[in-house]
Structure 1
Amino acid sequence: MNDTTSGRTYRVVDYLLDRLAELGLTEVFGVPGDYNMSILDVVDDHDRLRWVGNANELNAAYAADGYARARGLGALITTYGVGELSAANGIGGAYAEYSPVLHIVGAPKDELQEQRLLLHHSLGDGNFEHFRDMARHITVADAHLTARNAAAEIDRVLREVVLESRPGYLMLPADVVEAPVYRPSGPLRDLERTSSQDAVDAFRAAAREQLDGRRTTILADLLVQRLGATDAFDRLLEATDVPFSTSAWGKTLVNESLDRFAGVYAGGASDERVRAAVEDAETLVSIGVVLNDTLTAGFTDNIDPGRVISVDSGVSSVGGQMFAPLALRDAVDVLTDLAKEKAWVPQPLDDASRPEADPADADAPLTQADLWPTIAAAVGEGQTVLADQGTSFFGVAPLRMPKDALFLGQPMWGSIGYTLPACLGVALAVPERRAVLLIGDGSAQLTVQEIGTMLREKVNPVIIVVNNDGYTVEREIHGRNRHYNDIVRYDWQTLPAAFGATEDTALTLKVTTLRELKDAIATAKKTTDRMVVVEVVTDRNDVPTLLAKVAGAMK
């Protein structure tokens, strides 16, 4: 158990952190606490990992989630009880949104837990398993590490996190941190799902019959990316000439600049072009699709399951007949083989051209109708766009993004404020992509402290804060004139300075008209050496068309 290179004992904490580095992590998020500091010492000294401290544990969980979406795995370290419960909302969101995040909790020594002592940060009843029990509901695997089980349990939990693309939980007691353990015998194995050959063959036969001569459209979604099948899916698109679409959840999974892109499917709130492509197809090939109420305007999707070839995590179906175990990637490869074997018949796709709108008055008060197309048109290839739940998400989701852009939101969990810390995580995970954050003033107030971390880390995003004087999305659903949808008005022009910004590290702009918006975007594009915060003022009751439809369905 001795490390031959350093002469010191190889410990449980070394094993854990080396596994994280092996899986591609270079940053670990979190907040220090007295039960986790011995872990943080080792993170601080690690040659492949770097500690990124956050303003609070919730923000750390959000940052790790954003990092995981861009890098394939994220991790955070909190202290027992008070720290881990602060992060629980973020871990719940990672579970709902299929984001592989490992939550490491520094806990009291096992010898103290066994004595059932009334330790601080506990509930004072001598039971130290309460919070792990809570975590079981929002993770795919959990473990209380001991000196005897640590290596096996670390590998088991990490394997499940990667396979399921969902969070895991490790309780690491302070006296187990330094416990000796053997180094890994090799890389972590069994990180891909396996398929039954019988299931593959049966699915191939059923899908071949369903596709034969029928007008076909492909609808794909986030699980393609989350489960590591993007390259297989790209090969399928190259092998076919049929139209394709995504929901807003899977936005930018496909090249939206291609003519075959029908648009973003949103149930009854969809544009007619994409609605017809998806709902009128004789065969709909649905890959990694998860449709919820906000993505379908209150379940107004009208898709006959009898004509759907559905490919999901570990199971596929054709017209309701199930085939398992069948990995998503393997099922997509089968579909690619079928497309090469016999060309699929495309569902006719309506012309994408639209009547030209009357030109906007560039000096009139800015509207949502002008705001989002202007922003979408300014997004460059390879950029990352994060849109917080509300006017930002529903404003930009229906609009086309350029090739290789990465779009992130949280339409299932819908925790407002998520995207600001997630922007930090994404920017650190893929520093070559400049991040653009779109967030409302109400949402930003929940997590705004992480601007300070962004400044410290020098990630220099463009942050567009939509100042519409409160919770506009809530007003659209209920209580338009109720005081509970009002918020305290922040001075967004001076706020970055409160978090340490100077003229050399941040530029703040304010726009109220379309002309000012275009000028601000041009300035932001040129200003790459600093964070740019653009405050965009719109009317408190002005909402994007898609949000109005979704909110109407949810009333």
Structure 2
Amino acid sequence: MQEDGNVATRTTVTGYLLDRLASLGVRHLFGVPGDYNLQLLDEVVAHPDIAWVGTANELGAAYAADGYARMRGIGALLTTSGVGELSALNGVAGSYAELLPVVHITGSPKSTFERAGAAVHHTAADGDYERFARAQESVSCALATLTPDNAAAEIDRVLLAALRHRRPVYLRIPADVATAPIDAAVSELPLDSVELPVDEEALQGFLRHAQIVLERAQTAVVLADHLVDRYGAQHELDLLLAESNLPYADLAMAKGLVDESDPRFAGTYFGAFSRPATKQAVETADVLIQAGVRFTDTTSGFFSQDLDSTRVIDLQPGSAKVGSALYAGVPLKAALAGLAKLFVDLPPFEAREFESESAAASPTELPLTQDQLWSHLTTYLRGDHFVVADQGTAFFGMSAQPLPAGAGFIGQPLWGSIGYALPALLGAQLADDRRRGILLTGDGAAQMTVQELGSMVRYGVSPIVVLINNQGYTIERAINGPRAAYNDIAPWNWQAVAAAMTDDQALLLTARTADELDEALARADAAPDRLVFLEVHTDLDDIPPLLARIAAAAGGRDATAA
């Protein structure tokens, strides 16, 4: 059988979707079963290339798909209509905010019910079957309700939109459509179409302008951010850093993109709250090359960056600027690659090296402090680790620490949904089995999603879960209400909780001093094939200095006094 010159094959709507997802690198589908997606699920579990990962709830599935997308470039989840898809909505919104292509698939009531406007369960009994799709519009860049006639074309359109815009997409599949047979052309997705086009004339104009500016400069620094990762420009950034030999810094959302163990690494930039050497390097450079930088409140010290725009070469996903001169049609990848070639012929800049700051030594047999926690964890980290840090004490404590070469880092400082990190670790660990994940989360955040510990054991992943027990919402205490009742949480016996969630299959550890922390990490290292749950105790009022200063700014207080 021929269609438009392509060989067509007989498959089902679900089979076609799963084949397309597999071709994009999706190997795991996260979600929760419901009666409207069960026929779809039968095809998932029978698919040779995609494994089903059942999570404790739909929010956990969305967070896991987000973590998976950060490692694989795309993730997917499956929910049931109404109750399931709305439970996942917050997690999908985080993927939308932080530019991650996540495919949200929802099984809905049969199309015969829909045509009749039947008052079936999981609806508002008013015949409106598109109600929940409309709820998804604000956090999706493309949506479709599939039929046997439109399925192949709409699946391709929606998946390409996810990759092009780096945003979530939504597919609603009525229960009787999921297994409907279709004839679909066997051809590869036109992935070239998702890349931003290059205006060669604008690119050459940009490079000529940049060369003039760089030739006049005595110092230049590269500042990297997360858009480099989101728009697939990691290789080009690496080329620029190698060819230029320039010093460089990153923003907290970009940790893991550059080698923070290199002497040229100036540190992580937090605006006015940066360490002095980092602040001076970034803010006083004759030329600052901003690679994929998007300043947000929590990563810029509440917009406290002090940068002279006339000295900035700003590289954005689809355009580049030299000072105030805008060059449209110059994508990030092309701009970075072009600058890397420029530096081959430019006179070398003076080499600069930076020393990592180390915390002052403190007694290791006394109660564990925040400073000790982050310092000892940093010493423990290796290149075959990746860190997932929940927003709050964990993120701000760890993001100020340098990572070893090869180590990864996942945080969610823009959307900032606490509880995100634990399910995200599940997804990230399934996506990357070469490195061992290390979760850093607070007790308040963990109370929201700790049930996914069971999913980790169920699916055979063995990360190290570090839970910081400091009796409540510490980041909120730092912003407002240090002793306010609303910042307290119910006290849990975390060792018992972890044992129950993992069916006693995890290695349970606890640490109250730095010595005990080091001993626990050594035991965790000796159990690479076992989930490790490590509860560390710090004081209720002990806050990382960076978080204290940023929280003061968030609360409208004098951050310099914090």
TM-score range, shorter chain: over 0.9
Name the CA shift for 1:372/1:184 in 2 (closer, same or farther; >3 Å).
Answer: farther
Q: How far apart are 1:497 and its partner, in Å?
A: 2.2
Q: Distance in 1 between matches of 2:39 and 2:154?
A: 20
Contact map agreement 1:297 1:551 (CA 8 A) in 2: no
Other-structure match for 1:444:
446
Q: How far apart are 1:450 and its partner, in Å?
A: 0.2
Structure 2: where are the runs of 5+ without partners?
A: 3-8, 556-562
Q: Distance in 1 between matches of 2:392 and 2:273?
A: 16
Q: How many residues align?
A: 547
Q: How far apart are 1:350 and its partner, in Å?
A: 6.9
Residue-by-residue CA offset, 1:70-112 (whole Å, 9 max, x unaligned): 1111000001111111000000001111121110111122232
Name the CA shift for 1:330/1:478 in 2 (closer, same or farther; >3 Å).
Answer: same
Alignment of 1:317-332 (within 5 A): 317-332=321-336
Other-structure match for 1:52:
53
Q: TM-score, with normalisation over the residues of structure 1?
A: 0.96
Q: Distance in 1 between matches of 2:108 and 2:159?
A: 19
Contact map agreement 2:58 2:84 (CA 8 A) in 1: yes
Q: Distance in 1 between matches of 2:512 and 2:127?
A: 57
Q: Distance in 2 between matches of 1:343 and 1:141?
A: 47
Contact map agreement 2:103 2:168 (CA 8 A) in 1: yes
Other-structure match for 1:519:
519
Q: Distance in 1 between matches of 2:348 and 2:197?
A: 27
* Match for residue 311 of structure 2 among 307, 313, 334: 307
Other-structure match for 1:221:
225
Contact map agreement 2:62 2:91 (CA 8 A) in 1: yes
Other-structure match for 2:143:
142
Contact map agreement 1:285 1:310 (CA 8 A) in 2: yes
Alignment of 1:497-516 (within 5 A): 497-502=499-504, 505-516=505-516
Q: How far apart are 1:185 and its partner, in Å?
A: 2.8
Q: Distance in 2 between matches of 1:320 and 1:121?
A: 53
Q: How far apart are 1:382 and its partner, in Å?
A: 2.4
* Match for residue 391 of structure 1 among 393, 397, 403: 393
Other-structure match for 1:245:
249
SS in 2 for 1:481: coil
Which deviates further from its counterpart, 335-344 or 462-471?
Answer: 335-344
Other-structure match for 1:161:
162
Q: How far apart are 1:242 and its partner, in Å?
A: 1.2
Other-structure match for 1:175:
176
SS in 1 for 2:143: strand
| Backbone CA RMSD of aligned residues | 1.7
Q: How far apart are 1:9 and its partner, in Å?
A: 4.1
Residue-by-residue CA offset, 1:461-509 (whole Å, 9 max, x unaligned): 100000000001100001111111110111111212212432xx31111
Name the CA shift for 1:549/1:344 in 2 (closer, same or farther; >3 Å).
Answer: farther
Q: Distance in 2 between matches of 1:184 and 1:237?
A: 43
Q: Distance in 2 between matches of 1:90 and 1:303?
A: 34
Letter in 2 for 1:253: L
Alignment of 1:100-111 (within 5 A): 100-111=101-112
Q: How far apart are 1:191 and its partner, in Å?
A: 3.4
* Match for residue 203 of structure 1 among 206, 209, 215: 206
Contact map agreement 2:359 2:375 (CA 8 A) in 1: no
Contact map agreement 2:265 2:353 (CA 8 A) in 1: no
Q: Distance in 1 between matches of 2:106 and 2:68?
A: 19
Alignment of 1:327-476 (within 5 A): 327-343=331-347, 345=349, 349=352, 351-352=354-355, 358-476=360-478
Residue-by-residue CA offset, 1:224-273 (whole Å, 9 max, x unaligned): 11211111111111101211011010012101111110000000000011
Other-structure match for 2:122:
121
Q: How far apart are 1:115 and its partner, in Å?
A: 2.2
Letter in 2 for 1:211: L
Contact map agreement 1:273 1:352 (CA 8 A) in 2: no
Other-structure match for 1:538:
538
Name the CA shift for 1:464/1:205 in 2 (closer, same or farther; >3 Å).
Answer: same
Letter in 1 for 2:16: Y
Contact map agreement 2:319 2:330 (CA 8 A) in 1: yes
Other-structure match for 1:547:
547
SS in 2 for 1:345: coil
Q: Distance in 1 between matches of 2:265 and 2:210?
A: 23
Q: Distance in 1 between matches of 2:85 and 2:178?
A: 18
Q: Which runs of 4+ in 1 moved over 6 A?
A: none
Name the CA shift for 1:336/1:528 in 2 (closer, same or farther; >3 Å).
Answer: same
Q: How far apart are 1:358 and its partner, in Å?
A: 4.9
Contact map agreement 2:511 2:536 (CA 8 A) in 1: yes
Q: Distance in 2 between matches of 1:491 and 1:44?
A: 37
Percent of pairs identical after alignment?
A: 45
Which deviates further from its counterpart, 178-187 or 510-519?
Answer: 178-187
Name the CA shift for 1:213/1:51 in 2 (closer, same or farther; >3 Å).
Answer: same
Q: Distance in 1 between matches of 2:107 and 2:292?
A: 35
Structure 1: where are the runs of 5+ without partners?
A: 3-7
Residue-by-residue CA offset, 1:369-402 (whole Å, 9 max, x unaligned): 1110100110111211111101111001111111
2:531 paired with 1:528: no
Name the CA shift for 1:115/1:490 in 2 (closer, same or farther; >3 Å).
Answer: same
Residue-by-residue CA offset, 1:116-144 (whole Å, 9 max, x unaligned): 22221112221122221221111121111
Q: Distance in 1 between matches of 2:39 and 2:518?
A: 50
Q: TM-score, with normalisation over the residues of structure 2?
A: 0.94
Alignment of 1:465-504 (within 5 A): 465-502=467-504
SS in 2 for 1:415: coil
Q: Distance in 1 between matches of 2:338 and 2:117?
A: 55
Name the CA shift for 1:111/1:371 in 2 (closer, same or farther; >3 Å).
Answer: same
Letter in 1 for 2:282: V
SS in 2 for 1:480: coil
Other-structure match for 1:5:
none
Q: Distance in 2 between matches of 1:19 and 1:344?
A: 47
Q: Distance in 1 between matches of 2:274 and 2:106?
A: 43
